Amino acid sequence: RAWARPCSPVRWVGGVPPRARRAHALRGSRVSKSDAEDTLSALERLVGGVSSGEAAESAEEDVKQVAAETSTAIVREVLVELEPPDNIAAASFEVKSANTRVVQSVIAPPLGVVFEQNSCGEIVVAEIVPGSNAAALGTVAIAAGDILRACSAMIPEMKYATGGLMLGGNGRPGFRRVLFVTPTGDDLLLPQNAFAQTMSAITSNAKAGGFDVNVVVERREKT
């Protein structure tokens, strides 16, 4: 696909609150609260988990649908174990070529990953910080040049004891673990700062209680 204009360079280092660095902007400018809240309101990008059987059926249907829409599409399906066995998210991604792999990893916060937005409308792993949690997993799990396609995120919800809702009992604030699908291309160029949304989705795991981050990346064959 061809893009109408290059996106502004943006960079974020995993393990600290998300910061955006744009051309001619002050380095380390903090993402506003409204940007962070936009992450959790981007419901069309959140994939809720289901049981393992339902997830497998959903992934198969997604692949057929994407392939039907574009007959030449190359699609990779993944099942992301958010909280197995009852919270497994199914997602499908259109990739560049048949040699492209989709790789999953689970990384403890702080990640130690530098993400950048490139001129093609993609969020790329620019660097793995030496000695970080990501580095400990090795390049098999995540490496510079990988394209971020999805990550786990925590969204607020009320928790009720069994039968408590029907009996009118009071709930308590909690979180639900979901899969955030990374915007790419034209979606990343939208004015609501999709890069900041994605970084906020990553950091929501730590903010909710130090949860590990499920990371899904696209790894292309180097030419």
With the C-alpha atoms ordered 181, 102, 135, 116, is the resulting torsion angle positive or negative?
negative
Which has the higher per-residue pLDDT, 100 or 222?
Answer: 100
Alpha helices in the chain (DSSP H): 33-41, 52-69, 133-137, 194-207
Distance of CA 56 to the CA centre of its chain: 20
Share of the chain above pLDDT 90, in %: 43
Q: CB neighbours (10 Å) of residue 133? A: 19
> Tell me: the pLDDT tens digits for 71-84?
578 999 999 999 98
What is the chain's mean pLDDT, rounded?
Answer: 75
> Tell me: the pLDDT tens digits for 164-216?
555 556 778 889 999 999 987 777 666 557 888 899 999 999 999 999 999 99
> CB of 216 within 8 A of CB of 104?
yes
The predicted pLDDT at position 67 comes to: 52
The predicted pLDDT at position 31 comes to: 35
Mean pLDDT on 49-62? 63
The predicted pLDDT at position 213 comes to: 97
**SS3 of 122, please?**
coil
The predicted pLDDT at position 206 comes to: 94
With CA atoms as reference, report the closest residue to 87 among 49, 55, 56. 49
Give dist(CA 50, CA 54) in Å, integer: 6
pLDDT for residue 34 is more than 50: no
The predicted pLDDT at position 92 comes to: 92
pLDDT for residue 128 is more than 60: yes
Angle in degrees, CA 137, 143, 144, rounded to 5: 145
